[in-house]
Structure 1
Amino acid sequence: MITILCSGSRGDFQPYIALAQELKELGKDVRITGMREFEGFVRGYGVDFYPIQADFKSLNVDESILKEAQSADNPLKMLLTFNKMKGYGLSIANEFYAACEESELIKKALI
């Protein structure tokens, strides 16, 4: 199993859908992992999907922090903004790890 981790907008998912389709044609088991709101979009292209629960709304990430991150005009501002979002980062990292537990590389690393 190959698990492709993806987050962001629809445009972030599109290239990975094409990659997943090509890997499927090569005989690989493949799935994309991302926020549950993209499940129908990904599955609509015949690609398996593993939804994660972490999203900005369910984790109560303050929208003003998101706007700060998007408008940060230097690396220090961006770092300070992302430091405020640490809980979200840890949550999504844990869910992405869980999504990969059945993947080839994770299984080989644990053997």
Structure 2
Amino acid sequence: MEAIKKQIRGPEDGKVGNSQERKALEDEFVKLRDEVKRLECELISIFRLMEMASSPRTMEDIFKDYSARRAGVVRALTQVVTERKPINDKATVDSGSKSRGSIKVAVAVF
């Protein structure tokens, strides 16, 4: 009880902590507030993942998801292939090696 009375009397007596202590406490407060915000965001994302995982899915939903993912992968692979230079391009094939039955291809830098 005496400790509580001392805490209450402290500010009334004009005994305020020095500016360095106050600055340190303010810095700690800012760090803790940022940490709380980060943890809240993390918690929200975990709840969303749990909600998605716990929702029952039908076979049709799973097939649609698989089909969409597969189509995306195929699209990405075909776009990359169509953007490359053809193999008979003189810049990438050594024409002298054709007579020996082999093809030398220079490595393309992306």
Query: Into which bin does the TM-score normalised by the smaller protein fall?
Result: under 0.3
If you compute each CA radius of gyration, which structure gives the higher value, 1 or 2?
Answer: 2
Question: Which protein has greater RCO, CA pairs closer than 8 Å, 6+ apart?
Answer: 1
Query: Quick check: which one's strand share is greater?
Result: 1
Query: Quick check: which one's helix share is greater?
Result: 2
